[in-house]
Amino acid sequence: MHPVLLVPELQGLEKNVYDTLARRGGSGLSQAKIIQLLELRPSSQSSVSRALAKLGASGLVEKSGTTRDASFNLTSEARWFSVPSHLRPHVNYDPMRFRSYDTDAGPWLDPAARALMADSVGQGGLDLDPSTYTREIAERFLIEMSWASSALEGNTYSLPETEALIKYAEVAGGKSEVEVQMILNHKQAIGWVIDNIATAQITSETVMRLHAMLMRTLVRQNNLGAVRRDPVSITTSSYSPSSDHAELSMGLSELCWKASMTRDPFEASFALLAGIAYLQPFIDGNKRTGRLLSNIPLLKAGLPPISFVGVGRAAYGIGMTTWYELADTKYLSKAISEGYAITAPSYLVAATTKRVPRSIEIRMRRRLDDAVAEYLNRAVDDPAMTPDDFATEAFADIEGEDFDVIVQSFSDIIESISEVNCVAYGVEPDLVERYHEAKAGGGPAHR
């Protein structure tokens, strides 16, 4: 958690000490001076010491000097954010953030955050294929991200209300038309990503298409998917994005190219999320575009998507601000990775329990059953025969992708065949038992 997020929770003496140091604007104070400014009795020294120790442990206060001559001050981060955004030093757009970005030598995703994301899906993860997502998994991602991404923009729809709107077109009472449109736009754009993940590329054109879908009716028609020519401002930050159309177009192309060349899908995902937000290439809707775009590298790598459920709005906002103004991605990395760690495992579980049949499996259902029975019978006498070798010969007349699918399906069936599930393929348990005996013994098993 960013130390600044703790400030609203401060109470009593700790809050008074923090406010006193904040008013000094960077000038360190001795403990005696703090007691004097707070108009406390000298006997309050131990209480002030405890308050300073707690503020230090929270990352809000730092100590310098020896014990006797020690002075206390807010940490650089706490000092920076103790000043309202409109009074902080002005920070201009820096094109070198993109030009000098090296995904291998200088990744933007904090190593600890990257490790957390990788650990949440296990070593090697699970190869999820979005093109074969079950309706339930795809629908869940669509609903969760539509809700969470919209909530990060201040949308007041609850998750159940979002589900009702997406699935049944039920508009919740008391909600604005803008909120309804925001969620429906997310539905369309997320659906497009799922449907086109096999061919979608990380290019400027893809970014523009996502923006057009996400911002339909929310910006003027001529701004949909168009790199802006007008200035924008960020109300919660002292950062000013570029207003140069050519510079914005170049930055977008450079970001997409580097992200597309990145071998690590976690780094590519974070780079797109952070990069689009920093560049602000569109008149509005930049962060929501970056959030959806960040899912493409994950989905293409067979990893669970990031729905942004579990990403705290305050932590996300502070993370963005430190990235805008201080070029520090640590807190944004932390907010994103912690949210991903909450949801990714549940997508893996759902994927292992549900599966959508391919059309070739439906068409070849009877032939597949016959092949399973034939292989088991032959393998009883020839245990060295492999499922792949048998299937390659048995389905040699099938071409292209259908051949790969049916061979893989056959191999999966044989690998998990048991005396219980064999009935699904019209095979007798006795045959399966003899098959396993032959495999275990390395020779024919007859009764």
pLDDT digits (tens, 9 = 90+) for 257-291: 999 999 999 999 999 999 999 999 999 999 999 99
Instruction: Say if residue 166 is in the same domain as residue 138.
Output: yes
pLDDT tens column, 101-126: 998 889 999 999 999 999 998 854 45
Same-domain check for residues 154 and 57: no
The C-alpha atoms of residue 345 and residue 350 are separated, in whole angstroms, by 9
Domain assignment present for residue 337? The answer is: yes
pLDDT of 446 strictly over 60: no
The residue among 83, 103, 130 that closes a domain is 83
In a domain, 268, yes or no: yes
Q: Which residues are annotated as a binding site for ATP?
A: 284-291
Alpha-carbon distance of 349 to 56, in angstroms, equals 41
| pLDDT at site 123 | 58
In angstroms, the CA 368 to CA 387 distance is 12
Q: How far apart are CA 91 and CA 238, in angstroms?
A: 6
Average pLDDT of the residues in 385-398: 92
- Residues 357, 360, 362, 366: is their CA dihedral positive or negative? negative
Query: In terms of domains, do 128 and 192 share one?
Result: yes
Please give the average per-residue pLDDT across 49-62, as a whole number: 88
| Count: domains in the chain | 3
Residue 276 is part of which domain span?
A: 91-353
Q: What is the pLDDT of residue 136?
A: 61
- In a shared domain, residues 105 and 49: no
- Are 98 and 11 in the same domain? no
52 burial level (CB within 10 Å; 0-12, 13-18, 19+): buried
Decide if pLDDT at 349 tops 90: no
Residues forming the annotated binding site? 284-291
Inside any domain, residue 377: yes
Question: Given 287, 321, 353, which residue is the final one in a domain?
Answer: 353
- DSSP class of residue 438? H
In the predicted model, what is the mean pLDDT of residues 394-418?
90
Cα four-point dihedral sign 379, 399, 135, 296: positive
Mean pLDDT computed over 298-326: 91
Confidence of residue 88 (pLDDT cuts 50, 70, 90): confident
Flag the least confident range among 50-59, 343-352, 385-394: 343-352
Q: In the listed set 302, 325, 353, which residue is the last one of a domain according to the structure?
A: 353
pLDDT of residue 124: 47
Residues 231, 257, single domain; the answer is yes
What single string gives the DSSP state of each residue in 33-90?
A: HHHHHTT--GGGHHHHHHHHHHHHHTTSEEEES-TTT-EEEE-HHHHHHTS-GGGSPP
CA 397 to chain CA centroid, nearest Å:
43
Contacts of 86 (CB under 8 A, 6+ apart): 238
201-255 pLDDT, tens per residue?
Answer: 999 999 999 999 999 999 999 999 999 999 999 988 999 999 999 999 999 999 9
